[in-house]
Amino acid sequence: MENMPAHELISMAEKEFRNGRSDIAIAILGKILSSEPGHIKAVMTFGVIQHSLGDFAKAAEAFKSVLKRDQDNLEALRNLSLTLISSGEYDQARSHLERLVSVNQNDAQLWTWLARLEKACGRPEVALAHAKRSILLNPNQAEVLAFIKTLEAASESDKSGGPTACLKPVRRLIFLCPPQRQDESEALTSALSKRVDLTKVVSLKPEAYIEAAASKEALWLEGASDFAVTILNRPQSEGGRRIFINLSAEDILSEDYKGLNYEPVTDLIFESLYFRDLFLAAKPSGLKSGLRLHEVPFAVDVSRFQYRPSGRVKIAAPGPHGLLSNPLSLLDLFERVYSEGRDLELHLSGPFVGPALEAALAFRLSYSPAAEKVFIHPPFKSLVDFLKDKDFIFASPLAAGSSSLVKALILGLRPLVRDAPGLRQTLPSRCLWREYSEFIELIEQGPTGEEFSELLKAKHDSVIVAKSLFKIFSL
């Protein structure tokens, strides 16, 4: 490797990155840059890897350094624009995107990025125009079509004097949380309390909130629980109250949201655009024009992060609400790993372990050579207790943005997630696998704790999430 030319070293670094070994890729690129600090391809590759790991500051610095040497490098300008959007630097991103569009007005993706940016900056009319331009250039964009429908519904509500047109800033908020979500909401409510007069009620009894709600102008319901169903079916005597519902990945995947009455609701909050689009595709009854839809990642206490070095080899497959769609398929994969002599344990649990599936698993394990290494647990009362002595968490692409997976990250588990479009913006590439060989590599090496920690800080830190909510609250 000592005498290899730079282009071969870069190819080697790119291969290591694709195989999930970003630390090795960065080390190879560092070797090039130590002797050739201005090597554009090496700097660009370094920036792409840092963006994938969620370190937007390092990524932006890399792309800017390329533009200092070559101000017409459109690839660097494009990468810098996306990085600035990801880090919330919208004004800088806009100027770069507008320059890119002036060079290539037929690039649908650029118009989509501009549309998302303008929506985030509170300019829905401009966002709508950009999104429609993107669809004209490329009609096969389901996510952009859903985005347009959302913008058009909000626009119609404004024209008719609907609820979106007369929303007032939220100054006093009552936060209604079922007990099972109390820990998840702690970091968020702490951050919100610094800017909003917030009263938190942890209860499953609807009457528990009535006295506290009397002086509040907004109501936040955490999840689609039976509690939320009862609250939303109560007569709403106070006019002008804003009602927010935070629908988690678990709510969407379990379809609990279908039992809600959306008539009094003004704002729905989703953990990702993917789950918002699943919600819209289901067309739940009772939706009205003017209902505002938002994407806000859930907040976590990043300080609780625990990194576990390699050691144990226990794979947890929790399975609640679609986290694990097919445990028999996982068993196929696990048996293949086991047949190669790797000493692993597979632990299955969650609501999916019902009588029928448990019987199917028991039959399959009766002739499986890996039976002694597969453990079926009853549905857990505490996800944390189930995960605390495990090394890996196996999750489906649907669960990539769910709170269950992020809880596992905080506890130090390393995810094993089958790759799917869009996931590389949510998880480090070293969490994702497509081929069996990549699955094995993740088990043998796994991402570093530093990668996970930076990922959580960049997306789920309570301060960052609170800033997103302050925009929604019109503060």
What is the per-residue pLDDT for 358? 66
| pLDDT tens digits along 383-397 | 778 888 888 888 776
What is the per-residue pLDDT for 163? 43
Q: How confident is the model at residue 64 (pLDDT cuts 50, 70, 90)?
A: very high
Residue-range domain boundaries for the chain: 6-103, 171-299, 308-447
What is the per-residue pLDDT for 311? 55
Whether 128 has a pLDDT exceeding 80, the answer reads yes
What is the per-residue pLDDT for 422? 60
What is the assigned CATH class of domain 6-103? mainly alpha
Q: How confident is the model at residue 61 (pLDDT cuts 50, 70, 90)?
A: very high
Mean pLDDT of the chain: 78
What percentage of the chain carries pLDDT values higher than 90? 4
Two domains, one topology: 6-103 and 171-299: no
| pLDDT tens digits along 256-310 | 888 888 888 888 988 777 677 778 877 787 777 678 888 887 777 777 788 776 5
Fold exhibited by the domain 308-447: Rossmann fold (3.40.50)
Whether 2 has a pLDDT exceeding 70, the answer reads no
What is the per-residue pLDDT for 325? 47
Whether 87 has a pLDDT exceeding 80, the answer reads no
- Among 128-142, 274-288, 338-352, the range with the most confident prediction by mean pLDDT is 128-142
pTM comes to 0.55
What is the per-residue pLDDT for 324? 45
More confident residue, 227 or 197: 197
| pLDDT tens digits along 404-443 | 777 788 888 888 888 776 666 667 777 788 888 888 888 8
CATH number of the structural domain 171-299 = 3.40.50.11720
What is the per-residue pLDDT for 327? 64
Q: What is the 3-state secondary structure (H, E, C) of the chain?
A: CCCCCHHHHHHHHHHHHHCCCHHHHHHHHHHHHHHCCCCHHHHHHHHHHHHHCCCHHHHHHHHHHHHHHCCCCHHHHHHHHHHHHHCCCHHHHHHHHHHHHHHCCCCHHHHHHHHHHHHHCCCHHHHHHHHHHHHHHCCCCHHHHHHHHHHHHHHHHHHCCCHHHHCCCCCEEEEEECHHHHHHHHHHHHHHCCCCEEEEEECCCHHHHHHHHCCCCEEEEECCCHHHHHHHCCCCCCCCCEEEEEECHHHHHHCHHHHCCCCCCCEEEECCHHHHHHHHHHCCCCCCCCCEEEECCCCECHHHCCCCCCCCCEEEECCHHHCCCCHHHHHHHHHHHHHCCCCCEEEECCCCCCHHHHHHHHHHHHCCCCHHHEEECCCCCCHHHHHCCCCEEEECHHHCCCHHHHHHHHCCCEEEEECCCCHHHCCCHHHEECCHHHHHHHHHCCCCHHHHHHHHHHHHEHHHHHHHHHHHCCC
